Amino acid sequence: MVVQASAPPAERSKLRARLAVLTSSLLAAGTLASFLGALWWGFEILAHFRPQWAALSLLLLVIAVPLRAYTAAALCLACLLAHLVPLAPYLLSRHAPSATAPTLRVLTANLHGRNADTAKFAALIAREQPDVVVLTEVPANFASVAASLTPSYPHTIMERPGAAFEMILLSRWTIKQRQVNRSAGQSLPVLSAEVCSPVASAGCATVIGLHGARPFGRGVHLRNAQLALAVRVAAAKGDEPVILVGDLNLTPWAPTFAALLEAGNLRDASIVRGLTATWPTRHAAVGLLIDHVLVNPKVTVLGSRIGPDIGSDHLPVLADLAFQAPFVPPVEVTRAW
C-alpha cells in the first residue's frame, strides 16, 4: 500500500490564497455587472440583490484576511464599498416618529391571489384604518371582501378581480377623477385617481397604482412602459401631491428605479424605515424591496412601515403622509389716503 504524503503547509497556504483570489475575482465580475443594468436586463437582475452582494463581499473579506490573501481581501473590500454606497441612505436612516398628524394613510399590498388570508387582511384594515388601499393580485372572490368593507370604503375602483396585474383601489376619500390606462398592455393597467379628503382643508392628491410586469426579457420593456405612463401622470399634476404605489418588480438599487425617481420628481418613502425587504421575507439578507410608496415634493413622509404576514408572499407596506400647503402669494393692500 502506498501512502501519499499531504501537501506541505506552504503549498496549502498558496492554494488557499489562489482560491481566495479566484473567488474574489468572480465577486468583482458580478459586482461590475450589477452596475451595468442599463445595458441588459440580466445585469439589472443582479442589481436587485445589492444587499446580498454586500453581505457576500463582507463574508469573503472576513475569510480572506486570516488567510493573508491580501489581493483577494482588497478586491472584496472594494466590492463591499461599491455595494454599500447605494445602500447607505437606507442603512443610515434614523427617522424619529413625527408629532404631526398624518393627512393620509396609504396601504399597498400584493395579495398573491388565493394565497391571501382574507381574514388577516380584514383585521389589518380594521387595525390600521388606512384612508386609501391599493391592491394587486387580489383573489377572484375579492368582490365579496370589498363589499364587506364598503361601509368604511365607499369609493372603489375595481375592474377585473382575480387577474394577476390588475389594480384595485379602496378609498375613504372621495374619488373625483379616475383612469385605468391599458396602453402598455391590456393586462398591465396603470391606475390613477384623484382622491379628495372629506375634510376640505386636507385637500386632494393623485394616487397612481401599478403592478410592474415581471423583469425578465420582454417583461422589462412592458414594465418600463408602465412606469413611463405613471411618470406622465405625475408630471401632468405639477405642484399637486402625487403618490405612486404598488409592486413595481423593481428595487431601489436598479438604474431604472433611479430614472423613475428623476423623471417623475419622486422620492422613496421607504428610506425612513431603513433597509427592509417586502418579498419574500422582511429580512434584507434574503428578501427584496419591490413594493413601494413613492411621493413627489408636495408630500411629506411622516412614517413608513411593513405590515404583518397576511398569507401572501409579499408583505403589506403602510405610509403616513402629509401634504404641503401650496404657496399663496401675499395680497398687496393698497391704502387710500
Lowest mean pLDDT among 160-164, 245-249, 333-337: 333-337
* Beta strands 204-210; 242-247: pairing state: parallel
Domain count for the chain: 2
Lowest mean pLDDT among 54-68, 87-101, 114-128, 200-214: 87-101
4 domain residue, yes or no: no
* Residue 281 and residue 187 in one domain: yes
Least Cα distance to 163 among 192, 139, 146, 179 occurs for 139
- Domain with 68, as residue range(s), is 11-91
Residue pair 44/220 in contact (Cβ under 8 Å)? The answer is: yes
Query: What's the grid cell of residue 336?
Result: 387710500
**Which CATH number is 129's domain given?**
3.60.10.10
Q: H helices within 68-217, ranges in order?
A: 70-91, 118-128, 142-149
248 domain residue, yes or no: yes
Least Cα distance to 225 among 237, 240, 215, 238 occurs for 215
Which residues, in sequence order, are CB contacts of 60 under 8 Å at separation 6+? 20, 23, 24, 27, 72, 76
Of 61, 91, 121, the residue that ends a domain is 91
Per-residue model confidence (pLDDT) at position 202: 79
Each residue's pLDDT tens digit, 283-303:
656 799 999 999 999 999 999
Residue 333: pLDDT over 60 = no
Least Cα distance to 172 among 198, 192, 148 occurs for 198
Per-residue model confidence (pLDDT) at position 327: 41
Across residues 96-125, what is the average pLDDT?
A: 88
7 confidence band (pLDDT: 50, 70, 90): low
Which residues, in sequence order, are CB contacts of 171 under 8 Å at separation 6+? 131, 132, 133, 153, 155, 156, 193, 195
Residue 326: pLDDT over 70 = no
* Residue 183 and residue 62 in one domain: no
Q: What is the pTM of this model?
A: 0.91
* Residue 135 and residue 209 in one domain: yes
**How far separated are the first and last CA of the chain, in Å rounded?**
121
Residue 328: pLDDT over 60 = no
Each residue's pLDDT tens digit, 173-220:
999 999 999 999 999 999 999 999 988 777 899 999 999 999 999 999
96 confidence band (pLDDT: 50, 70, 90): low
Each residue's pLDDT tens digit, 16-62:
888 999 999 999 999 999 999 999 999 999 999 999 999 999 999 99
336 domain residue, yes or no: no
Residue 336: pLDDT over 50 = no
Of 31, 65, 91, the residue that ends a domain is 91
CA distances to 41, 207, 238 from 47, rounded to whole Å, are 10, 28, 31
Of 40, 56, 91, the residue that ends a domain is 91
46 domain residue, yes or no: yes
Across residues 101-130, what is the average pLDDT?
A: 93
Per-residue model confidence (pLDDT) at position 234: 97
Each residue's pLDDT tens digit, 241-283:
999 999 999 999 999 999 999 999 999 999 999 999 999 966 6
Residue 116: pLDDT over 50 = yes
Residue pair 224/218 in contact (Cβ under 8 Å)? The answer is: no
